[in-house]
């Protein structure tokens, strides 16, 4: 007989198996991931997803190197809107844009032959999502970011109509629904100018479904859902997701750090401090010392805030 808690637990499938490139990517080994994705584009140059993988790694390596990989990017303060432009070297920026544009061009060719080609619809949506994030974080070009977000969502909405059972087509539209329903009035007004207003509750439901059943988006959906629950002041709902990710990718000290921060936000002092002690003593998968110092300060600050509230 199932236990009461097992009945309540969401029916999440196991994290899908990852390619060698994405195993490196999610373990923060971006140089290895880039090398593997470069090889993939050489071996299969007409695969639009190969070019998306390369673009994904280029952008996220730069986010990581610039210290922009944190839940603050989608936190309750919308601090990502106030961040300075991401410093992306010109050669790296050029390579990123070439990869995205190559993916889009291949998708357009495929869609001319077959209007509802599922591979092309999915890949085009992802390519525009990558470029939208680039416009937002590197160029700070909000209207360009919104236009690409609309294109991205449009392709995945077409995929949802062509294949209603495809869970990977839910993540980008769901993320847009949620974000657009929560941003400042100014940004919502800009979004409305491009024909989109968003719906918070619908967005959460779509991200939850992508997290439960997604294959290509299995990892990203879990991460975004955890960040969403965190933003919704539900750290205990986010904890199982981040714990699963941290166990699947043990070299990703950012995932392990988020687990501890969620414990602190939930007021679970013993779990947060014990986990911090384990991270500080871990010699197999060490985190940088400056990161550990900042993490300790953040945990103490969150615990103090909980005590005062």
* CATH code: domain of residue 152: 1.25.40
Distance, CA of 283 to CA of 205 (rounded, Å): 39
- The alpha carbon dihedral of 175, 229, 217, 57 has a sign of positive
CA 56 to chain centre: 10
Distance, CA of 168 to CA of 15 (rounded, Å): 13
User: What's residue 53's pLDDT?
Assistant: 98
Task: Name the band, by pLDDT with cuts 50, 70 and 90, for residue 4.
Answer: very low
pTM: 0.90
Q: What percent of the chain has pLDDT over 90?
A: 78
Determine the average pLDDT of the residues in 70-95: 70
Among residues 232, 257, 291, which one ends one of the domains? 232
264 within domain boundaries: yes
Q: Write out the H or E segment, with its range, that includes residue 273.
A: helix 269-281
Same domain, 96 and 244: no
Same domain, 136 and 176: yes
Q: Regarding predicted confidence, which is higher, 183 or 62?
A: 62
Q: What are 144-197's pLDDT values in tens digits?
A: 998 999 999 999 999 999 999 999 999 999 998 888 777 655 555 555 555 556
Among residues 209, 232, 255, which one ends one of the domains? 232
- Rounded mean pLDDT of the chain? 89
Which stretches of the chain are DSSP H helices?
Answer: 4-8, 20-26, 30-43, 48-65, 90-113, 118-134, 142-162, 171-180, 185-193, 200-213, 218-231, 235-248, 253-265, 269-281, 289-308
Determine the average pLDDT of the residues in 59-86: 71
Give the pair of three-digit tokens for residue 214.
């997604």
Same domain, 200 and 121: yes
Same domain, 148 and 250: no
13 within domain boundaries: no
Residues spanned by the domain of 275: 238-309
Q: What's the structural domain count of the chain?
A: 2
| CB of 179 closer than 8 Å to CB of 198 | yes
Q: What are 220-261's pLDDT values in tens digits?
A: 999 999 999 999 999 999 999 999 999 999 999 999 999 999
Same domain, 160 and 26: yes
Q: What percent of the chain has pLDDT over 70?
A: 87
1 within domain boundaries: no
Give the CA distances from residue 238 to residues 26, 117, 151, 218, 222, in Å, rounded to whole numbers and listed in that order. Answer: 18, 35, 29, 15, 9
User: What's residue 5's pLDDT?
Assistant: 35
Q: What are 269-283's pLDDT values in tens digits?
A: 999 999 999 999 999
């Amino acid at each position: 007989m199932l236990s009461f808690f097992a009945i309540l637990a969401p029916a999440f499938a196991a994290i899908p198996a990852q390619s060698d490139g994405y195993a490196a990517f999610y373990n923060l080994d971006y140089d290895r991931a880039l090398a593997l994705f470069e090889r993939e584009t050489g071996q299969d140059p007409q695969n639009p997803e190969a070019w998306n993988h390369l673009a994904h790694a280029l952008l996220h390596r730069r986010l990581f190197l610039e210290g922009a990989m944190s839940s603050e990017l989608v936190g309750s303060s919308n601090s990502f809107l106030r961040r300075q432009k991401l410093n992306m070297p010109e050669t790296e920026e050029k390579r990123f844009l070439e990869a995205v544009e190559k993916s889009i061009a291949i998708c357009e060719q495929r869609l001319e032959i077959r209007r509802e080609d599922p591979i092309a619809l999915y890949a085009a949506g992802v390519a525009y999502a990558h470029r939208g994030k680039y416009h937002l974080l590197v160029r700070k070009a909000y209207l360009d970011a919104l236009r690409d977000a609309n294109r991205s969502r449009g392709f995945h909405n077409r995929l949802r109509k062509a294949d209603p059972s495809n869970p990977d087509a839910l993540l980008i539209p769901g993320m847009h629904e949620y974000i657009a329903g929560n941003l400042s009035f100014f940004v919502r007004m800009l979004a409305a100018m491009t024909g989109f207003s968003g719906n918070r509750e619908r967005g959460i439901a779509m991200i939850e479904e992508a997290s439960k059943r997604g294959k290509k988006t299995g990892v990203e959906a879990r991460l975004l859902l955890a960040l969403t629950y965190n933003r919704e002041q539900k750290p205990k709902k986010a904890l199982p997701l981040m714990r699963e990710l941290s166990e699947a990718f043990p070299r990703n000290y950012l995932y392990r750090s988020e687990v501890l921060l969620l414990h602190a936000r939930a007021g679970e002092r013993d779990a947060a401090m014990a986990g911090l002690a384990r991270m500080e003593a871990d010699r197999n998968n060490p985190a940088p010392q400056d990161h550990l110092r900042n993490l300790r300060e953040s945990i103490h600050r969150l615990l103090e805030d909980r005590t005062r509230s």
